[in-house]
Structure 1
């Protein structure tokens, strides 16, 4: 073969195409990150398929993550978007899940990265229409052996994280792969970052029933916008259904809008001073001032999946 002295170099990009979304896997295969050509980014741990970072085009972090979060060890991640399944909290009165750890095993299990799909920019349109979706999988056979016997049901789950210029979407598909029915709960435990919790209002929950877990789980009805003035732990079932936006405002300006699909409940949580001080992995201790959890899920009661049946649910967060 004759070596040409002036042979062309490899092209870094295809001529005529604008920059495209990028996806990277860490060297230790512990996390997947994606970014758009406009600057937005997301990072997901394979542990729990936990979203630990979501930034806008200017590099501003939209999620709150504890400085003491256990990203590599056995504990669930404090912050970001942990995934709750198949039980919410502890469930001593539900025999099928009573022996499972708090919030189930999905958030501590090792998920498999199934791949990406992209909506790429077209020539002449620029990068504004680009998007990227990351898919993660978990099955009953891949859950830790010590937990399989505590919830002996055959299932598979696909969790998708979709980043676009307008926001972030997370969705889950859960399939009962067995012949016997099972009951489960699911929740996306989203920690949103705010500047000052005392200036936050949450709209879209007016006239909605909720369980006040700080007040002996009493049933109450919301009047007006939700404000945070102390420890708050409420499970709402919004009166207008999942498609009604839940809007988080700060100082009168909307900062987040959450729209749900198939997830009928919304948990609003902030630990405030004393509770934050007693949570070992909540750092800094005054971090409660800069976060509010708006958690989309199905946790009042139980989802029942017959053999072969599938449940789908998700949320879209925009800013």
Structure 2
């Protein structure tokens, strides 16, 4: 079921599965604000200090990074997608899955980008981001299409903030470097592997990706969190960012498209 709601001051779409699982997506940025599994447990972190009025990027949930990762380029930091208003596209039951999932797809083109941002990204494109809920699994399917007659380069990421309970009691498994037990602040890039396991005090999440090239793992730590105006000083202990990404820009030929998948499943 799809319903129109308001989250803060932001128009949003709520996706509700037959088992009660829910996802809430703001049209501003096609930003996933909340994902609750059927047991009612919130799986994502959203800062209590983040503006929810469209005046600035949202801190938490899943920001959409496109066409630039961080400051790796001379354009808008983290790109224009998270600062633009998307449109609701197709939605309903996904017949491509065995048991059927509920989905909603969001769309953005160059014409939707605010003029003040569009000057830094003078290319024709079409983005589609589909969220599918099925059981205790959430899938994000991000598609980028070059609709112009010139090649362009782009980077992308789905900057997922997981509710960790306590960052210091969280561990990540499945990287080539071996398990990570968290403590100090970190901002690391790892080669993409087939599957990761995020273990918190009360659950384990299986993380999978296709199409992306890296995992980015980030937490600001206490000192850096205190410098952020959209995060309370104590909130650094409540989350961990693990994002599927292609951090360096790669060429997308005129008329071509690229798709990245990010799947999160509750394993325990």
TM-score (norm 1): 0.78
Unaligned runs of 5+ in 1: 1-21, 121-127, 207-221
Residues of 1 paired with 2:217 and 2:85: CA distance? Answer: 27
Residue 102 (structure 1) shift: 1.1
Question: Is residue 33 of structure 2 the alignment partner of residue 83 of structure 1?
Answer: no
Question: Is residue 115 of structure 2 the alignment partner of residue 165 of structure 1?
Answer: no
Structure 1 counterpart of 2:208, from 253, 259, 262: 259
Question: Is residue 198 of structure 2 the alignment partner of residue 248 of structure 1?
Answer: yes
Question: Is residue 79 of structure 2 the alignment partner of residue 107 of structure 1?
Answer: no
Unaligned runs of 5+ in 2: none
2:223: which partner in 1? 274
- Specify the structure having the higher radius of gyration (Cα): 1
The CA RMSD over aligned residues, in Å, is: 1.7
The 5-angstrom pairing of residues 1-319 of structure 1 reads 22-26=1-5, 30-91=11-72, 94=73, 98=74, 100-119=75-94, 129-206=99-176, 222=177, 224-238=178-192, 241=193, 244-251=194-201, 255-283=204-232, 285-299=233-247, 301-319=248-266
**SS in structure 1 opposite 2:223?**
helix
What number of residue pairs does the alignment pair up?
262
Residues of 2 paired with 1:117 and 1:87: CA distance? Answer: 31
Tell me if the contact between 1:117 and 1:134 (Cα under 8 Å) persists in the aligned partners: yes
Tell me if the contact between 2:10 and 2:54 (Cα under 8 Å) persists in the aligned partners: no
Residue 29 (structure 1) shift: 7.8
Tell me if the contact between 1:31 and 1:45 (Cα under 8 Å) persists in the aligned partners: yes
Residue 73 (structure 1) shift: 2.4
Stretches of 4+ aligned residues off by more than 2 angstroms: 26-29
Residues of 2 paired with 1:63 and 1:29: CA distance? Answer: 18
* Inter-CA distance 178–130: structure 2 relative to 1 (3 Å threshold): closer
Tell me if the contact between 1:47 and 1:107 (Cα under 8 Å) persists in the aligned partners: yes
TM-score (norm 2): 0.93
Indicate the structure with greater strand content: 2
